[in-house]
Structure 1
Amino acid sequence: MDSKKSLSPAQKTIVGVQFLFVAFGATVLVPLLVGLDPSTALFTAGLGTLIFHLVTKGKVPIFLGSSFAFVAPIIKATELYGLPGTMSGLVAVGAVYGLMSALVKWRGIGFIKTLFPPVVIGPVIILIGLSLAGSGVNMAKENWPLALIALLTAILASLLGKGMIKLIPIFCGIIVGYIAGAVFGVIDFEPIVAAPWFAFPQFVKPELSWGAVIFMIPVTIAPIIEHIGDVYAINEVTGKDFVKDPGLHRTMLGDGLACVAAGLIGGHPVTTYSEVTGAISLTKITDPTVIRIAAVTGIV
């Protein structure tokens, strides 16, 4: 499907918001696990995605969200060096991405294939996915009937839906699941009523801590491998070669600058989100504009 020609601005907006919903759960859950502000995480995810698209010339339909790889390191680093010190370590993470970007630009993609061959990239991505599978299962265990209703709705909308319905199967699953939850009386509306309409991010100013920098740098290896795998995955989904155009060095630099931006304002480091790539594969909407709409929605 040539999504650039077939979707109206209104349709792109709806699909973009749907993609944000796909990334929303993990993007908010990660900062809650480490004691960071979820509003700031949404802000940095949106900002980081826009930075990524700027660096990659707006060609790569990838969304950046909170990285699970840093959960345990951030918790430990915060205990040892405090939150401001930990933020300086997260800025250093972005610098490592920048260094890798420069090496790829200098040595070429063959350098990455030698350093991280498929036999390394594949298992690492599988392990990351398997480590996160428990989160989804644990959430579903809270109410299996509702989980199955939402899942089956999304599957049926994708397989049997026509027109706009086929483009928003995940939205359909969320809406039908929510309605079913309301009918079954398992939704507590009091927190929704009590919640403020607007919440500003809680920014944190980083303070240089060499201990935190040294502590965080080795952790960067896992998300870099994940990044490479996700770029190859989006290649398969779109039928394009983003490793060559705009280049893996640009995607790495964009990811790194997004991490730097997150660290400078107290957000969680970001990474390429495979779940959004999966949603792109499901909907066949590959227009990067839709991802940027999701990013702006996350900021707002």
Structure 2
Amino acid sequence: MRESEYTNVVPQEDRSAGMSIWGLILLGLQHTFTMFGATVLVPYLTGIPVNVALFTAGIGTLLFHWITKWKVPVFLGSSFAYIAPIIAVTTYYMKQAGLSFGSINEAVAAGVDLRPYLAYAAGGIAIAGLVKFGFGFLIKLIGIRRFERLFPPVISGTMIILIGLILSPVAIQMASANWWIALISLATAVIVRLYSKGFSRLVPVIWGIVVGYIVAALTGNVSFTEVSTASWAGLPEFYLPKFSWYALAAIVPVAIAPSVEHFGDVFAISAVVGKKFYEDPGMHRTLMGDGLATSIAGVFGGPANTTYSENTGVLAFTKAFNPWIMRVAAFFAIILSLVPKVGAIVRSIPVPVMGGIEILLFGMIASIGVRTLVSNKVKVDGKNLVTMSLMLVTGLGGAIFKAGNFALQGLGLAAIVGIVVNGIFVLTGASDD
């Protein structure tokens, strides 16, 4: 059997080992804060009920952990890859019903119940999840060693770098709403992580958010209007999916890009924790879990799920790897979906507070990519240099490949470019010098 190229995954100390249940709960709450902003942003942009998105993120994460034998510390949140097709499908069926608005938010402001139209997008999401599951089954058939040949360390390491760099403009944009508040949150998290002792050192994100929130509140940058009007209890606004050829054609092909991006996410988590999760429980299981979680989300009317890089950044920063922490975060997400008052409090956290935190987390992910290249002794010369160069420019330069309703860009396109270029070099015997 061919030996794995990933011979230098460095084991890391798990600082959550032997921790009490209350400590794990607080660490899980930290991951809940981290995922919240991005997870609710997708429903905000698409019109999907926020509480449905939170519920399906929690249920999807628990399902993922079950399929991956409870081994992988991952949180699944709302996928950004499906935003454009969801909006396109919803708008199309609104127009079919004689409704015409400039945007989804205008329709929501006008009091339109979008669920009958979102249901067609939910049907596409449910089928797209099955496609991702099928990709996982295909990996199971070809075997992990053949799969690794498609993703040597030069490609996986560069993909991890790209995950952080592609997300970095989002962090800067969020922080730029109020740089002073963002820098206070960032500085607090760094100081707690590097200079504090004991348990506090494991929850720097919570400290950064709390201090940033207090400063924002004292300076009049927090709105409590939604908190005061939100109810204490309420069921998510579920709706069943509907199926149409138009919706399937618009949404199902999108599954390709998140599937490719999933590989980079799993390699990143493996590098952070120091365990080869792509071998045990296996990339096929992680992708199957991701796919089934997406299908379940579609059945309930939620957005597609995907592994969250924000939470991987927290893992890298805190070095607390117990998968139970992510499951606690999943339970918190479900609770938030059932208690609108608590969800409103979390939503009241100012954008620059989270922006300051994410500057740090996204930078940590990119740094892990560099460490992956170094630990696997990837030579940055010859064909590897060309492969990395093409991937970085393609991923960061805004290149888009379009075919009908299907579009591939960012990390997904960079991964395909890396696979194709590296394959050509291997077949033609290109020089490493």
CA offset digits 1:41-98 (Å, max 9, x no partner)? 1111100000000000100001100011111111112223532111111011111111
C-alpha distance in structure 1 between counterparts of 2:242 and 2:153, whole Å: 38
Match of 1:8 among 16, 20, 42: 20
The residue number in structure 1 matching 2:376 is none
Greater Cα shift, 47-56 or 89-98: 89-98
8 Å CA contact 2:48, 2:118 repeated in 1: no
Deviation of 1:185 after TM superposition, in Å, equals 2.2
The residue number in structure 2 matching 1:50 is 62
Distance 1:131 1:35, change over 3 A: farther
* 2:17 counterpart SS class: helix
8 Å CA contact 1:124, 1:222 repeated in 2: no
Distance 1:128 1:236, change over 3 A: closer
Q: How does 1:124-139 map to 2 (within 5 A)?
A: 130=165, 132-139=167-174
> Partner letter of residue 34 of structure 2?
V
CA offset digits 1:122-175 (Å, max 9, x no partner)? 666666655543433232222111111011101111111111110100000000
> Partner letter of residue 19 of structure 1?
H
8 Å CA contact 1:39, 1:199 repeated in 2: no
Match of 1:182 among 217, 226, 231: 217
The residue number in structure 2 matching 1:95 is 130
Deviation of 1:211 after TM superposition, in Å, equals 2.1
Greater Cα shift, 171-180 or 107-116: 107-116
Deviation of 1:188 after TM superposition, in Å, equals 2.4
What TM-score does the superposition give when structure 2 sets the normalisation length? Answer: 0.66
The residue number in structure 1 matching 2:266 is 231
C-alpha distance in structure 2 between counterparts of 1:126 and 1:220, whole Å: 22
Distance 1:196 1:131, change over 3 A: farther
The residue number in structure 2 matching 1:77 is 89
| Structure with larger RCO (C-alpha < 8 A, sep 6+) | 1
C-alpha distance in structure 2 between counterparts of 1:121 and 1:192, whole Å: 43
8 Å CA contact 2:56, 2:297 repeated in 1: yes
> Partner letter of residue 53 of structure 1?
H
Deviation of 1:212 after TM superposition, in Å, equals 1.4
Deviation of 1:215 after TM superposition, in Å, equals 1.9
Match of 2:36 among 17, 21, 24: 24
Deviation of 1:110 after TM superposition, in Å, equals 4.2
The residue number in structure 2 matching 1:291 is 326
CA offset digits 1:250-282 (Å, max 9, x no partner)? 111110110010000100101001110110111
What TM-score does the superposition give when structure 1 sets the normalisation length? Answer: 0.93
The residue number in structure 1 matching 2:284 is 249
The residue number in structure 1 matching 2:300 is 265
CA offset digits 1:189-208 (Å, max 9, x no partner)? 23222222234211121111
The residue number in structure 2 matching 1:170 is 205
Distance 1:263 1:118, change over 3 A: farther
Q: How many correspondences in the alignment?
A: 300
C-alpha distance in structure 2 between counterparts of 1:104 and 1:13, whole Å: 35
C-alpha distance in structure 1 between counterparts of 2:193 and 2:138, whole Å: 41
Identical columns (%): 47
Question: Over the residues paired in the alignment, what is the CA RMSD in angstroms?
Answer: 2.0
C-alpha distance in structure 1 between counterparts of 2:43 and 2:128, whole Å: 17
8 Å CA contact 1:116, 1:225 repeated in 2: no
C-alpha distance in structure 2 between counterparts of 1:216 and 1:115, whole Å: 26
8 Å CA contact 1:44, 1:261 repeated in 2: yes
Structure 2: which 5+ residue stretches go unaligned?
A: 1-12, 94-116, 336-433
Match of 2:48 among 20, 36, 43: 36
Match of 2:228 among 175, 182, 193: 193
> Partner letter of residue 262 of structure 1?
A
Match of 2:250 among 215, 218, 221: 215
8 Å CA contact 1:67, 1:268 repeated in 2: yes
Distance 1:245 1:19, change over 3 A: same
Does the alignment pair 1:106 with 2:141? yes
Deviation of 1:102 after TM superposition, in Å, equals 1.1
C-alpha distance in structure 2 between counterparts of 1:240 and 1:119, whole Å: 18
Distance 1:90 1:14, change over 3 A: same
Distance 1:177 1:122, change over 3 A: same
C-alpha distance in structure 2 between counterparts of 1:216 and 1:113, whole Å: 28
C-alpha distance in structure 2 between counterparts of 1:145 and 1:291, whole Å: 31
Larger Rg computed on CA atoms: 2
Distance 1:243 1:210, change over 3 A: same
C-alpha distance in structure 2 between counterparts of 1:51 and 1:251, whole Å: 11
Deviation of 1:109 after TM superposition, in Å, equals 2.4
> Partner letter of residue 254 of structure 2?
V
* 1:65 counterpart SS class: strand
8 Å CA contact 1:86, 1:209 repeated in 2: no
C-alpha distance in structure 2 between counterparts of 1:164 and 1:124, whole Å: 32
8 Å CA contact 1:121, 1:225 repeated in 2: no
The residue number in structure 2 matching 1:61 is 73
More helix by proportion, 1 or 2? Answer: 1
8 Å CA contact 2:132, 2:256 repeated in 1: no
